[in-house]
């Protein structure tokens, strides 16, 4: 589906129109993760572009926020339908930007955002905008202009989590997509134009985080700043926003644990856990990259996990036979290989390691391919167990009973997600309640896009998705009489 209209963008979307950037000859090159070639380009935005976009969003806010929930819902549904018309293009471009296999791109990178948008359309109809307590009327109002800075690993889904929630709440948006994977955001802008969203309600400025992201974070015209990305960058974003006391929502890193207790089907629980860890080639903030298992079952767990990994064919993301695509960038590949080298000195390598994956010929080495890798006998205090690797690397950590398993799960600077596997529902629920994370699945419970998503500790603050994600973009006012 090569199409320069999709891959080569020359303008930002501001105030309902495509606007030439302040520096028209400066571009940000987008790389094809499959072979390292140039896939496309987008404008290299500046502070002047951000200024124009924020002004457009502020101008549009009074009219948009005054619409009824029904009117905003109808507009979000039109946006959803217009994006659905571009689903194939979005899936194709995300596969090449990020390295996601075509099957996962169709279902998760694009299919899930479409469902999520429909959920936000429904949420716009059910915002509890007035509550009476004593002599007070508590009013929930749109917060204002939202700055949305999004990551490269799930570029459309994370953007929809911010844009959909903000629009449902009655806010207007200025978004900055990740430089590694910005092209699907432009398809969303195309959809916004086709859906007839009022001018200035949705605005898009691409460019470097150090320029466009920093300008958004420091802009006094931003009322809520929503960022998804690394903990380190999130910390700097929050510090920049603090100069204006701007409200900040952060969805950051993770080092999630899948905790297997001693009374479950190992085949099912280990297979599901390995596939979760390696989803999107491990480029998932909520991935269960720590597999915490009964000590006396570790050998059997390793056997099952290696068997699962052996079936994860690595290859070009658009090849139907591929189960794991490349990583998104050369930098990410170097980082993951560095962690694999560290892991060799910290634990027992049982599968994978350095070198090209099986089936990847030398002439494909321009792509960013890494072998799925599994370590066993991992000490939870080691670097590979404590630091977010963001690649297809799984740590198997033995535990000595429920208390020890929960201790290990919580012994992390992060608290984004996790899993518990146990045949006793009450025992599983008790463990899930005690794990300090924003989402915990019991026995493979399915992801729910209507449930709040976010983390404890260094995984961030605030929540996205569903009705709670809409509330993130509102303010509360108490009126006494």
Residue 200, sorted as left (phi over 0), alpha (psi -120 to 50) or beta, turns out to be: left
* Angle at the Cα of 272 from the Cα atoms of 450 and 414, rounded to 5 degrees: 60
- Active-site annotation holder among 171, 285, 395, 422: 285
β-bridge pairing 257-260 and 290-294: parallel
Positive/negative CA dihedral, 232, 237, 240, 245: negative
- Whether the CB-CB separation of 174 and 205 falls below 8 Å is answered with yes
Q: For residue 112, what is the enclosing H or E element?
A: helix 112-123
- Active-site annotation holder among 214, 251, 388, 471: 251
d(CA 475, CA 144): 9
d(CA 64, CA 160): 18
**Closest-CA residue to 463 (of 165, 121, 235, 117):** 165
Taking CA atoms, 108 is separated from 9, 129, 274, 376, in Å, by 25, 32, 18, 30
Instruction: Reply yes or no on whether 251 is catalytic.
Output: yes
Instruction: Reply yes or no on whether 285 is catalytic.
Output: yes
Contacts of 4 (CB under 8 A, 6+ apart): 40
**Closest-CA residue to 149 (of 134, 159, 137, 136):** 159
Contacts of 182 (CB under 8 A, 6+ apart): 28, 30, 42, 97, 155, 206
What per-residue string of b and e applies to 214-240 under the rule 16 or more CB within 10 Å gives b? bbbbbbebbbbbbbbbebebbebbbeb
Using CA atoms in the order 113, 114, 115, 116, what is the torsion angle rounded to 10 degrees?
40
Contacts of 435 (CB under 8 A, 6+ apart): 257, 259, 406, 409, 410, 418, 420
**Closest-CA residue to 18 (of 277, 202, 170):** 202
Annotated catalytic residues are 251, 285
């Amino acid at each position: 589906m090569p199409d320069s209209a999709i891959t080569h963008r020359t303008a930002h979307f501001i105030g309902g129109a495509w606007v030439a950037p302040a520096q028209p000859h400066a571009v940000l090159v987008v790389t094809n993760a499959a072979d390292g070639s140039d896939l496309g380009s987008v404008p290299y935005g500046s502070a002047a572009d951000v200024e124009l976009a924020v002004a457009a969003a502020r101008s549009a806010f009074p009219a948009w926020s005054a619409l009824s929930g029904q009117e905003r819902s109808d507009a979000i549904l039109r946006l959803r339908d217009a994006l659905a018309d571009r689903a194939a293009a979005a899936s194709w471009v995300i596969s090449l930007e990020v390295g996601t296999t075509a099957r996962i791109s169709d279902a998760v990178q694009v299919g899930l955002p479409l469902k999520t948008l429909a959920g936000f359309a429904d949420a716009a109809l059910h915002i509890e905008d007035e509550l009476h307590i004593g002599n007070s009327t508590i009013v929930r109002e749109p917060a204002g202009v939202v700055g949305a800075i999004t990551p490269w690993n799930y570029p459309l889904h994370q953007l929809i989590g911010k844009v959909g929630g903000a629009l449902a709440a009655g806010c207007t948006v200025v978004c900055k997509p990740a430089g590694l994977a910005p092209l699907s955001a432009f398809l969303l802008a195309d959809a916004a134009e086709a859906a007839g969203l009022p001018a200035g309600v949705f605005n898009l400025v691409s460019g470097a985080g150090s320029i466009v992201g920093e300008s958004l974070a420091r802009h006094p015209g931003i009322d809520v700043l929503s960022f998804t990305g690394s903990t380190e960058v999130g910390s700097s974003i929050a510090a920049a926003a603090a100069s204006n006391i701007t409200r900040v929502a952060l969805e950051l890193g993770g080092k999630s644990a899948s905790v297997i207790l001693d009374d479950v089907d190992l085949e099912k629980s280990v297979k599901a856990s390995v596939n979760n860890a390696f989803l999107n080639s491990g480029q998932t903030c909520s991935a269960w990259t720590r597999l915490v298992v009964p000590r006396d079952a570790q050998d059997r767990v390793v056997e099952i996990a290696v068997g699962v990994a052996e079936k994860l064919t690595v290859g070009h993301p658009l090849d139907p036979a591929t189960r794991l695509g490349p990583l998104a960038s050369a930098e990410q590949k170097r980082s993951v290989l560095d962690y694999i080298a560290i892991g060799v000195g910290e634990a027992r390598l049982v599968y994978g390691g350095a070198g090209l994956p099986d089936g990847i010929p030398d002439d494909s080495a321009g792509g960013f391919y890494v072998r799925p890798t599994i370590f066993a006998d991992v000490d939870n205090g080691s670097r590979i167990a404590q630091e977010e690797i963001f690649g297809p690397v799984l740590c198997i950590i033995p535990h000595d009973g429920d208390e020890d398993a929960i201790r290990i799960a919580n012994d992390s600077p992060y608290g984004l997600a996790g899993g518990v596997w146990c045949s006793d529902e009450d025992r599983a629920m008790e463990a899930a309640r005690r794990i300090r994370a924003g989402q915990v699945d019991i026995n493979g419970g399915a992801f729910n896009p209507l449930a709040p998503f976010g983390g404890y500790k260094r995984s961030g603050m605030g929540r996205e998705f569903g009705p709670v994600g809409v509330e993130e973009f509102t303010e509360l006012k108490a009126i006494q009489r």
